């Protein structure tokens, strides 16, 4: 897979089990796009799980799953790292920072992001029980911390990764569509330019990046989708499925 013809044949064998509304799937789409890897998207149906998904991710039964030459890799952040390693030599910047300390910092924040945002979003759209005010407060606090992290990591450049999109840009950027949907649903401003000016400007840049612009879901569509998802989650007694 290290020479260019090897990379072409690998790209032809890349499939993603996913859905256009999933922030975790978006991570995989952005990473593949950054690396210039062609892939086939196998869209999962809301509330159903295909045989292929159950076989490919028998532990969590969740999307995304990357199928590379038929071999399954689950978990979005693990997939992003895998993509970065497999397509390391195709002339585009690495997604993970080269420096071990910088890598550890980005991994720390990515874990923090997945600790705070998915649950906050799910509670707000009503697919998981919880206190909406509390999760909104938690997400606001998280964005405040991430504003500081952005200033440190970006070194006055455009992205957490400096000149190019990195692992942490992808980890947080993938949630932006849903953060905007939450703002509409809850009538709040999370990416408030007066409170998190650097992060708000970064969010605009990230969403306009060529690897992202066509993939990031529109907030109004996500709001529409969230109504269907909440109804479905209720029907499933909110225990079999999780949101977005
Ligand atoms: N930690 C996982 C989260 C994946 C996840 O929650 N996927 C959702 C869609 S956004 C899913 O498959 N939900 C269906 C379910 O929970 O049954 C990752 O990063 O890939």
Decide: 57 in ligand 1 pocket, CB within 6 A. Answer: no
In this structure, the number of other CB atoms found within 10 A of the CB of residue 225 comes to 21
Out of 1.20.1050.10, 1.10.1200.30, 3.20.20.70, 3.20.20.60, the CATH code matching 100-231 is: 1.20.1050.10
Among 26, 46, 60, 217, residue to substitute to test ligand 1 (most atoms within 8 Å of Cβ)? 60
pLDDT value at residue 11? 39
Provide the token pair at 171: 């980890």
Determine the CATH number of domain 4-86.
3.40.30.10
What are the C-alpha distances in Å from 134 to residues 37, 125, 170, 241? 40, 14, 26, 22
Residue nearest to atom 12 of ligand 1 (CA): 62
What residue segments make up the domains of the chain, in order of their start? 4-86, 100-231
pLDDT value at residue 1? 33
- Centre of ligand 1 to C-alpha 61, Å, is 8
Task: Give me the average pLDDT of each 10-residue run along the chain (244 residues).
Answer: 39 86 98 96 94 98 97 98 94 95 98 98 96 98 98 97 97 98 98 98 98 95 94 72 49
Decide: 28 in ligand 1 pocket, CB within 6 A. Answer: no
Q: Name residues whose C-beta falls within 8 Å of residue 63's C-beta, 6 or more positions apart in sequence.
A: 17, 18, 19, 22, 24, 25, 44, 53, 57
- Centre of ligand 1 to C-alpha 194, Å, is 33
- Centre of ligand 1 to C-alpha 186, Å, is 23
Do residues 94 and 170 lie in contact, with contact meaning Cβ atoms separated by under 8 Å?
no
Decide: 22 in ligand 1 pocket, CB within 6 A. Answer: yes
């Amino acid at each position: 897979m290290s020479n260019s013809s090897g990379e072409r044949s690998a790209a032809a064998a890349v499939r993603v089990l996913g859905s256009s509304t999933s922030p975790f799937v978006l991570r995989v789409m952005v990473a593949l796009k950054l690396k210039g890897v062609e892939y086939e998207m196998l869209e999962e149906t809301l509330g159903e799980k295909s045989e292929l998904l159950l076989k490919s991710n028998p532990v969590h039964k969740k999307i995304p799953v990357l199928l590379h030459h038929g071999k399954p890799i689950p978990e979005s952040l693990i997939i992003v790292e895998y993509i970065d390693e497999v397509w390391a030599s195709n002339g585009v910047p690495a997604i993970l920072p080269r420096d071990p300390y910088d890598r550890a910092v980005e991994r720390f924040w990515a874990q923090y992001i997945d600790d705070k945002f998915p649950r906050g979003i799910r509670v707000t759209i009503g697919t998981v029980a919880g206190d909406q005010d509390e999760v909104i407060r938690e997400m606001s606090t998280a964005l405040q911390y991430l504003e500081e992290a952005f200033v440190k990591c970006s070194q006055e450049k455009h992205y957490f990764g400096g000149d190019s999109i990195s692992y942490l840009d992808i980890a947080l950027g993938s949630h932006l569509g849903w953060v905007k949907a939450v703002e509409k649903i809850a009538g709040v401003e999370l990416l408030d330019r007066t409170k998190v000016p650097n992060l708000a400007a970064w969010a605009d840049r990230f969403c306009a990046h060529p690897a992202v612009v066509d993939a990031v879901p529109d907030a109004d569509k996500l709001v529409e989708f969230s109504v269907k998802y909440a109804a479905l989650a209720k029907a499933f007694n909110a225990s079999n499925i999780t949101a977005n």
